[in-house]
Amino acid sequence: MPDLPLPTPPQSRPLVCTLTIATSDSGAGAGVQADLKTFAALQVYGLSVLSGVTAQNTLAVTASACLPPDLVTAQLQAVFEDMKIAAIKIGLLGDAANTGRVASFLADICPATPLVLDPVMVSTSGHTFLAPAAISALKEIMPLATVITPNLPEAEALSGLAIRRPEDRRAAAERLREAGARRVLIKGGHGQGPEADDYLLGPEGETWFKGPRVETLNTHGTGCTLSAAICANLALGLELPQAIGQAKSYVTQGLRQSLRLGRGPGPLNHFHPYYHLES
């Protein structure tokens, strides 16, 4: 067995805590697990509040269940009573009850904390997570978020508009801002063509984040990872455009070194800044 290289001596840096509020993925490519990996890779300390549990692998989601709202609230109270949280990422909350609890808690406790809302609705394998009532409740959180990060199908579902051309993204983002979102980042990963460009619209104007489409089947958890990376970058003090740009670069490189974990779409390599895993 070859000798492993010695680790690089660690650098000292201030402790910064970030929080993910999302659902567990037993395959660990998306959800809370992907968020915590991303936080660790970007050198912030990740805290977690679980809203639900899924049984899934690279092929399918075979079962899912939401945790009781009182337990979700108890987790929120536990972390906020004891630790200083620099930024929050919200992923899949599961149902209207949990979504409402999270919205009410955050509105009362930390209205000024940077918050990234990833409105997860459908898994990479095609499993639908949110019922219409939960989608309506999700809109209660939009005004609290620094930025929301829907992909193209999610932006269509939330705005009620079809997105076929670049200018359609502006119309959908404007519709979501009218619904209460402060800033909208519509991701381009579900589009076509050689580019996977993301579009940001907010009170400061609009910005396109250009990037190549990486040819890989292993895209599981990409949206979760991007929003978690934006959250980590905001916690470290970056302004939103820089936080998004660096997060996009991080995800793009992770896709280039993505992992063939099972028989279906695998995850990106969250720890690509530190090592490359051959699969």
**Options 31, 223, 245, 266, the catalytic residue:** 223
Q: What secondary structure, in 3-state letters, does 133-164 show?
A: HHHHHHCCCHHHCCEECCCHHHHHHHHCCCCC
In the set 20, 99, 219, 225, the catalytic residue is 219
Among the listed residues 20, 99, 149, 222, the single catalytic one is 222
Catalytic member of 188, 221, 245, 266: 221
Residue 222 bears catalytic tag: yes
Q: Residue 54 catalytic?
A: no
Q: Do the Cβ atoms of 25 and 221 come closer than 8 Å?
A: yes
**Could you confirm whether 17 is annotated as catalytic?**
no
- Give me the catalytic one of 20, 54, 89, 224: 224
For 89, 148, 223, the CA distances from 186, given in Å and listed in that order, are 16, 8, 11
Written in H, E and C, the secondary structure of the chain is: CCCCCCCCCCCCCCCCEEEEEEEEECCCCCHHHHHHHHHHHCCCEEEEEEEEEEEECCCCEEEEEECCHHHHHHHHHHHHHHCCCCEEEECCCCCHHHHHHHHHHHHHHCCCCCEEECCCCECCCCCECCCHHHHHHHCCCHHHCCEECCCHHHHHHHHCCCCCCHHHHHHHHHHHHHCCCCCEEECCCCCCCCECCEEEEECCEEEEECCECCCCCCCECHHHHHHHHHHHHHHCCCCHHHHHHHHHHHHHHHHHCCCCCCCCCCECCCCCCCCCCCC
- Do you know the residue count of the chain? 279
Which residue in 187, 189, 225, 248 is the catalytic one? 187
Crossing angle (nearest 10°) for helices 222-235 and 31-41: 40
Active site residue 219: yes
Active site residue ranges: 187, 219, 221-224
